[in-house]
A and B are shown apart, each in its own frame.
Chain A
């Protein structure tokens, strides 16, 4: 069964692993650049937040809900003109980063919102009693006290984005998913498909294990 794994195929799979990690990490990174402030803003403007503001919360929450409801494959196609504008083309792994980021951001915003709202209200009150302003509360209390949950969120997001990135293979997005679809689905080379799927599973497991270790290392509560 291994006759199809020529040097060429092996190097292609190696490149696939790299592309998958590249798309996953970069998209999650950009996702957080948008989603972290978005999630913090959701919490701050929420009813129990630091500066409740129903209008701002309503708008931010609505956009997050709408963007999260669009299936990734549809979003991928919908944003193609935007991708073309930013990257200069609509295929390949760099181009896939655009829709990946856009679909990850609202999910990240919700995860961040939930992480920071778990922070003990008493600790926030204590900081307020010392004269801390909203910015200090965000940077020194919410993001610090909520960091274990935030790190767990990053790990979940990496896994999710990695899964999405595999779907991008349908439109020539590159990475392991692309290989799995091209060889397994279009050419019926099940062995290559199985290997790539196993590799995807292994990547998610490694990310999860690493992330959990980091989260535990950062947790000073026990």
Chain B
């Protein structure tokens, strides 16, 4: 089944005076209707360019983007503008019109699509209610907090009843609490209106919070993609490991252990005190270097980094023991 967004062999090269930058190389993605899809990567990985290729704010150098089955490169300027009306976008810096009050900011996309002023304001008012900012309609953006500005931007994005909402680092400028509120709002929009949401971020926590699927971009390439909980449990690519385990924790000094493993368990397996039982079973202690519980797609998932004892046989036995308990075990090495 073809998704609402299909990206085929997409590449983007920027040509400077005497150099060229391959921002994106042969990206393939399929995003299903109604999904919340994360695109994650370190800064400079090319994810912002990728999202701009999805509505052709940047034209790909080669490859194709299909929105609802329609190939964007074949479209006339007029048709492209129409399609953009159905793909809304929110940004890290909100990008509201600073000289225009809140209600007219929200009405702006409707005015672009030639709706008359009274109707546009009427609809804008309803949208402000949806995002909980009805009392601010006469204010100007400078009078609002960051979270409120992003709410206005979301209301504005919803004005044209989009099929797709692109979020370009939409929570990166916000504090953790406001981030959680904005993500909650996005989830609600996805639930209630069925809008497909594409979230571009460098924060794994954002992806874990709301995304169902994720694509990891590294150096302009698609490093890996799939279901968030799978990738969280067992990241395969270098970029995936960096994002899931965290750059700092990858560099935990070796202490006395020469072998470290990461185990991941879900709520159902965490009833049993696996580590304690293992230590009792082998009568040998292991070092817990890090333990963490994270909320991935609404399920609590634990991850732990263990330092194993020196005895090689013992190491293998312990790994076998953990795998038998249905835990996902992976090696943590400095040079992943």
Using a CB–CB distance below 8 Å, which chain A residues touch chain B? 120, 122-123, 125-133, 136, 140-141, 144-145, 147-148, 218-222
- Contact pattern, B 128-148, Cβ under 8 Å of A = 1, otherwise 0: 000000000000111000000
- Contact pattern, B 83-127, Cβ under 8 Å of A = 1, otherwise 0: 111011101010111111100000011011100000000000000
| A123 in contact with B142 (CB, 8 Å) | no
Apart from A128-B84, A129-B57, A221-B140, 17 more pairs, CB < 8 Å: A120-B98, A122-B93, A123-B95, A129-B84, A129-B88, A129-B89, A130-B88, A130-B112, A131-B82, A131-B84, A131-B113, A136-B112, A140-B111, A147-B99, A218-B99, A220-B141, A221-B99
Q: Is the interface of B mostly helix, strand, loop or mixed?
A: mixed
Q: B87 contacts which chain A residues (CB < 8 A)?
A: 129
Distance in Å: Cβ of B35 to nearest Cβ of chain A: 20
| B91 in contact with A122 (CB, 8 Å) | yes
How many angstroms between the C-alpha atoms of A222 and B142 in the bound complex? Answer: 6
Distance in Å: Cβ of B161 to nearest Cβ of chain A: 13
Q: A141-B97, A145-B98, A220-B98 are in contact. Are A132 and B112 (CB under 8 A)?
A: yes
Interface residues of B toward A: which range? 20 to 34
Q: A127-B108, A130-B112, A220-B140 are in contact. Are A145 and B99 (CB under 8 A)?
A: yes
Q: A131-B85, A222-B142 are in contact. Are A125 and B98 (CB under 8 A)?
A: no
| A129 in contact with B55 (CB, 8 Å) | yes
Is B238 part of the contact surface with A, judged by Cβ < 8 Å? Answer: no
Distance in Å: Cβ of B312 to nearest Cβ of chain A: 56
How many angstroms between the C-alpha atoms of A221 and B99 in the bound complex? Answer: 6
Q: Is the interface of A mostly helix, strand, loop or mixed?
A: helix
Shortest 9 CB-CB contacts between residues of A and residues of B: A126-B95, A131-B81, A131-B84, A130-B109, A129-B89, A122-B95, A220-B140, A131-B85, A132-B112
Q: A132 contacts which chain B residues (CB < 8 A)?
A: 81, 112
Q: A140 contacts which chain B residues (CB < 8 A)?
A: 108, 111-112
| B112 in contact with A127 (CB, 8 Å) | yes
Q: A127 contacts which chain B residues (CB < 8 A)?
A: 108, 112
Is B160 part of the contact surface with A, judged by Cβ < 8 Å? Answer: yes
Among A122, A123, A129, A147, find the residue whose CB has the most chain B CB atoms closer than 10 A: A129
Distance in Å: Cβ of A147 to nearest Cβ of chain B: 6
Q: Which chain B residues (10-53) contact chain A, with CB distance < 8 Å?
A: none
Distance in Å: Cβ of B21 to nearest Cβ of chain A: 17
Q: A130-B108, A220-B101 are in contact. Are A125 and B88 (CB under 8 A)?
A: no
Q: B85 contacts which chain A residues (CB < 8 A)?
A: 130-131
Distance in Å: Cβ of B198 to nearest Cβ of chain A: 13
| A126 in contact with B91 (CB, 8 Å) | yes
Q: B57 contacts which chain A residues (CB < 8 A)?
A: 125, 128-129
| B95 in contact with A120 (CB, 8 Å) | yes
Can you report 9 A-B residue pairs in the complex whose CB atoms are below 8 A from each other? A120-B93, A120-B98, A129-B166, A130-B160, A131-B83, A131-B109, A140-B112, A220-B99, A220-B140
Among B87, B95, B140, B142, find the residue whose CB has the most chain A CB atoms closer than 10 A: B95
Among A123, A130, A141, A147, find the residue whose CB has the most chain B CB atoms closer than 10 A: A130
| A131 in contact with B112 (CB, 8 Å) | yes
Distance in Å: Cβ of B136 to nearest Cβ of chain A: 14
How many angstroms between the C-alpha atoms of A120 and B100 in the bound complex? Answer: 14
How many angstroms between the C-alpha atoms of A123 and B108 in the bound complex? Answer: 12
Q: A122 contacts which chain B residues (CB < 8 A)?
A: 91, 93, 95
How many angstroms between the C-alpha atoms of A212 and B113 in the bound complex? Answer: 35
Q: B77 contacts which chain A residues (CB < 8 A)?
A: 133
Distance in Å: Cβ of B105 to nearest Cβ of chain A: 10
Nearest chain B residue, comparing its CB with the CB of A126: B95
Q: B81 contacts which chain A residues (CB < 8 A)?
A: 131-133
How many angstroms between the C-alpha atoms of A126 and B87 in the bound complex? Answer: 11
Q: B112 contacts which chain A residues (CB < 8 A)?
A: 127, 130-132, 136, 140
Q: B166 contacts which chain A residues (CB < 8 A)?
A: 129
Among B82, B89, B97, B166, find the residue whose CB has the most chain A CB atoms closer than 10 A: B97
Nearest chain B residue, comparing its CB with the CB of A134: B77
Q: A219 contacts which chain B residues (CB < 8 A)?
A: 99
How many angstroms between the C-alpha atoms of A136 and B82 in the bound complex? Answer: 14
Distance in Å: Cβ of B160 to nearest Cβ of chain A: 7
Among A125, A126, A133, A218, find the residue whose CB has the most chain B CB atoms closer than 10 A: A126
